[in-house]
Amino acid sequence: QQQVKQSPQSLIVQKGGISIINCAYENTAFDYFPWYQQFPGKGPALLIAIRPDVSEKKEGRFTISFNKSAKQFSLHIMDSQPGDSATYFCAASNAGNMLTFGGGTRLMVKP
Amino acid sequence: EPEVTQTPSHQVTQMGQEVILRCVPISNHLYFYWYRQILGQKVEFLVSFYNNEISEKSEIFDDQFSVERPDGSNFTLKIRSTKLEDSAMYFCASSEGVGRKILNEQFFGPGTRLTVL
């Protein structure tokens, strides 16, 4: 019940395209859903996060869509750029405690 | 911009040896965490720490592991007798709090790559 399932495992997108990564969770006690971006050899960096009281949050080219009834949330990267090539992790937590991470999506944006 | 720092960046040790991984969390943060990431896999929670005690730990965090905040700035993870399967990237993270309420955002350090031979 603590699992967060993430798909796809890898994604190739052309420059300027939209990258979409999906996550699903089981634990209804989760109340915080961040996305992290990780470059090789670096720590995860917080990209954007959402709480279940809103269905969408947008920051620049990054948007989280949240579907509470389906227990799913997704990251959309608009106008994807080669510099966005990284591994993306969704995560979830309950009241700010331990983060449960998804399996990660390796995104490659082709120029 | 304040950031979490970790030392060393890479630690190589022999199986059975003790290692101590060090972290300096962001200065006004009250909650501290250790996570690990085995090569190519997802990030896994190990332990959280608040007010000088462990607040939560995972099944991975067995008796071989311990954490300490020896002074006002450092936060350490000790592995008493390392195993081959402890080889991983270890990340420290910290988050703010207001009293006992955690402000959710966790900020991660760059990690320590532990290699057990």
Confidence (pLDDT) at B1: 76
Band of pLDDT at residue B99, cut at 50, 70 and 90: low
Q: Taking 90 as the threshold, does the pLDDT of residue B102 lie above it?
A: no
Confidence (pLDDT) at B43: 93
Q: In a 3-state reduction of DSSP, which class is residue B71? A: coil
Cβ-in-10-Å burial (0-12, 13-18, 19+) of A65 comes to middle
pLDDT digit string (tens) for A52-98?
A: 889 999 999 999 999 999 999 999 999 999 999 999 999 999 876 78
Tell me the percentage of chain A whose pLDDT exceeds 90: 82
Q: Taking 90 as the threshold, does the pLDDT of residue B76 lie above it?
A: yes
CA-closest candidate to residue B88, choices B43, B28, B53? B43
A49 and B103 within 8 Å at the Cβ level: the answer is no
Interface test with chain A among B30, B104, B105, B107, by most A beta carbons within 10 Å: B104
Interface test with chain B among A38, A98, A101, A105, by most B beta carbons within 10 Å: A98
**Cα–Cα dist A96/B89, whole Å:** 23
CA-closest candidate to residue B8, choices B25, B24, B21? B21
Q: Say yes or no: A40 contacts chain B, CB-CB below 8 A.
A: no
